[in-house]
Structure 1
């Protein structure tokens, strides 16, 4: 193996005087370090180490982002699979069932039996992109653990009746059509 010094000499980039001068400077620097007890900081080496550390940090961050994206895709695939395996038919009905998704009111058409199951909480609406599917509550709970934003639950509102309300004695049905 040929040293860098010999390679530079053969290439003609340095001459013997420069090589001797570099050795003398290095010996002089070591002598000063021994005498004073303080080591000189090699600035180029320090800069190279810092650059290497920054590169490691960047690679670590990119790997973390890539892992997060892979986990997100895996979760979406699991949700898609759960919905595909356990989706329920809407019963081919013509009864409109309204629900809120975000800030919009949306409508699906279901049969009377399916509407009763939705009102009772046995079936839950899941919104995958543009598709609206009905799944059993057990599956919806598993989906909500992974991504609660796509599960639409029908909230039963239990409020205390106002004593002055003249309509307090009339209960509002859960399956009110609007």
Structure 2
């Protein structure tokens, strides 16, 4: 008599008895499920499991995307903080109060005369720095303010409007030159 494929594989040593019994049991189970009509239920359960797995993968993908966005926001905030702290212009003797508007509140910053002049002419900018527990304002050059605006466009940046052009238009004596030897 001819041996079955299973017996041939066992004789060749390619399959052991445990695997052969498991395969035979699985075949009997599938035959039984098909005869009783329960195979469709198993297929439905497999489809449901696949749908659940796909849903979970989509949720995980969205969660990872959200985490990446939060990490990117933190990185941008760290870059802004580093830019402000490394490029802040410090006043040696801050004895003049410079006032500016942040939202609906008037804020003040004590600076020296040179910085006050440059701030009022729009050559420097005031930047809000959100440190843990406090909000601090620093003076930075316009180039740094632009870099910060590129990274985070809703960050508070105050730049005074240049009043030189407006003063030149309204000045009735603009056409008259001041003599060099005039003493006040």
Q: Given that residues 91 and 114 in structure 1 are in contact (C-alpha distance below 8 angstroms), is that contact kept between their aligned partners in structure 2?
A: no
Q: Given that residues 90 and 134 in structure 1 are in contact (C-alpha distance below 8 angstroms), is that contact kept between their aligned partners in structure 2?
A: no
Could you say which residue in structure 2 is the equivalent of 1:48? 49
Instruction: Choose which of 120, 140, 143 in structure 2 pairs with 1:138.
Output: 143
5+ residue gaps in structure 1? 10-18, 30-38, 161-167, 172-178
TM-score, normalising length from structure 2? 0.65
Q: How many Å separate the matches in 2 of 1:137 and 1:63?
A: 36
Q: Given that residues 126 and 133 in structure 1 are in contact (C-alpha distance below 8 angstroms), is that contact kept between their aligned partners in structure 2?
A: yes
Shifted more, 51-60 versus 76-85: the winner is: 76-85
5+ residue gaps in structure 2? 1-15, 173-184
Could you say which residue in structure 2 is the equivalent of 1:150? 156
Q: Given that residues 124 and 159 in structure 2 are in contact (C-alpha distance below 8 angstroms), is that contact kept between their aligned partners in structure 1?
A: no
User: Over alpha carbons, which structure has the higher Rg?
Assistant: 2
Could you say which residue in structure 2 is the equivalent of 1:15? none
TM-score, normalising length from structure 1? 0.67
Shift of 1:49: 0.9
Could you say which residue in structure 2 is the equivalent of 1:128? 129
Q: How many Å separate the matches in 1 of 2:129 and 2:92?
A: 20
1:115-149: CA deviations, max 9, x gaps?
A: 11001221100111211111000011001111232
Q: Given that residues 90 and 114 in structure 1 are in contact (C-alpha distance below 8 angstroms), is that contact kept between their aligned partners in structure 2?
A: yes
1:50-96: CA deviations, max 9, x gaps?
A: 10011011100110011011111111111111112111012423211
Task: Please tell me whether residue 104 in structure 1 is matched to residue 109 in structure 2.
Answer: no
1:35-59: CA deviations, max 9, x gaps?
A: xxxx999211111111001101110
- Number of equivalent positions: 145
Q: How many Å separate the matches in 1 of 2:72 and 2:148?
A: 15
Instruction: Choose which of 26, 37, 41 in structure 1 pairs with 2:34.
Output: 26
Aligned CA distance change for structure 1 residues 109 and 20 (closer, same or farther; 3 Å): closer
RMSD: 3.6
Aligned CA distance change for structure 1 residues 135 and 96 (closer, same or farther; 3 Å): same
